[in-house]
């Protein structure tokens, strides 16, 4: 079911995704055709992607060529500074402390104890996705980790209510890296976008210059395939 124009996100809920790309214009062409997104410039740089007029993601220029071309997920928090303290206490690291993103909110970049990178978002004017759980929008994020027990403890302490509370309906899972990828792949988050027709989505990725990284496989949350865009950023297509 689509959830549009969400007003708030509880702590630990995936609330935004952004891609760091060498060429934002090429990203607009790729994702615009793949998901039907339109785009608007942001005063802070980069572009915000819209689906039927509602915000669903952002694309930003990667300023340092040594940095990876990636999709990053942000988790909602009412207090980014306090959450950074809990991340450090749990064995994670703060890569970039909470900083204002215009007047929209505060953002921070952090890692878990195994080095998987994610972001925090303390929304002010903008809480997060305007649409999710429908074709062409975010629908799931999977952490591929070397130690699922450690990951469950770390994220369970950070985001207990969102993951394990009585009303929890998480969009965030954990699995061993080796379930899908080569064992030497570093721990990482994989952002999933919903599609109605997985085979058609894969054909469109190929037509646009991307490639299939992992062919379709069954999961507890749907049928997924891992792909890369035409600049090398990995993501998954998911039919639920």
Output the pLDDT for position 2. Answer: 40
Six token digits for residue 91: 């064995």
The tens digit of pLDDT for each residue in 62-92 reads 988 888 999 999 999 999 999 999 999 999 9
Six token digits for residue 161: 């209510």
Q: How confident is the model at residue 17 (pLDDT cuts 50, 70, 90)?
A: very high
pLDDT at 3 > cutoff 70: no
The tens digit of pLDDT for each residue in 162-175 reads 999 998 999 999 99
Q: How confident is the model at residue 5 (pLDDT cuts 50, 70, 90)?
A: very low
pLDDT at 223 > cutoff 50: yes
* Number of domains into which the chain is organized: 1
Output the pLDDT for position 21. Answer: 97
Q: How confident is the model at residue 40 (pLDDT cuts 50, 70, 90)?
A: very high
For residue 78, what are the domain limits?
Answer: 3-239
Six token digits for residue 51: 């689906």
pLDDT at 198 > cutoff 80: yes
The tens digit of pLDDT for each residue in 122-180 reads 998 889 999 999 999 999 999 999 999 999 999 999 999 999 999 899 999 999 999 99
Which CATH number goes with the domain that contains 204?
A: 3.10.180.10
| Average pLDDT of the residues in 86-106 | 95
Range from 20-29, 56-65, 89-98, 195-204 carrying the lowest mean pLDDT = 56-65
Output the pLDDT for position 65. Answer: 84
The beta strands (E) that lie in the chain are given as 3-4, 14-21, 38-41, 47-51, 54-61, 70-76, 93-101, 105-111, 117-123, 131-132, 138-145, 172-176, 188-194, 211-219, 222-228, 234-239
Task: List the alpha helices (DSSP H) in 21-113.
Answer: 24-35, 80-89
Output the pLDDT for position 121. Answer: 97
Range from 28-32, 41-45, 71-75 carrying the lowest mean pLDDT = 41-45
Phi and psi at residue 12, to the nearest 5°: 90, 0
Output the pLDDT for position 43. Answer: 85
* Cα distance between residue 223 and residue 240, in whole Å: 6
Output the pLDDT for position 155. Answer: 98
């Amino acid at each position: 079911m689509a959830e549009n124009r969400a007003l708030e996100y509880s702590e630990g809920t995936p609330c935004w995704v952004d891609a760091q790309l060498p060429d934002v214009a090429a990203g607009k062409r790729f994702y615009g055709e793949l998901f039907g997104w339109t785009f608007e410039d942001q005063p802070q740089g980069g572009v915000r992607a819209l689906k039927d007029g509602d915000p669903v993601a952002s694309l930003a220029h990667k300023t340092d060529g040594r940095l990876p071309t990636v999709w990053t997920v942000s988790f909602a928090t009412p207090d980014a500074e306090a959450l950074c303290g809990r991340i450090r206490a749990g064995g994670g690291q703060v890569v970039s402390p909470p900083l204002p993103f215009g007047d929209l909110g505060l953002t921070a970049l952090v890692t878990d104890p195994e080095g998987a990178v994610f972001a925090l978002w303390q929304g002010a004017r903008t809480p997060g996705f305007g649409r999710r759980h429908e074709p062409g929008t975010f629908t799931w994020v999977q952490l591929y980790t070397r130690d699922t027990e450690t990951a469950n403890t770390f994220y369970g302490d950070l985001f207990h209510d969102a993951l394990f509370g009585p009303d929890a309906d998480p969009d965030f899972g954990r699995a061993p890296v080796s379930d899908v990828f080569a064992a030497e792949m570093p721990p990482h988050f994989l952002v999933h976008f919903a599609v109605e027709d997985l085979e058609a989505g894969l054909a469109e990725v190929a037509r646009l210059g991307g490639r299939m990284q992992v062919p379709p496989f069954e999961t507890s949350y749907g049928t997924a395939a891992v792909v890369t865009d035409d600049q090398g950023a990995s993501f998954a297509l998911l039919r639920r």
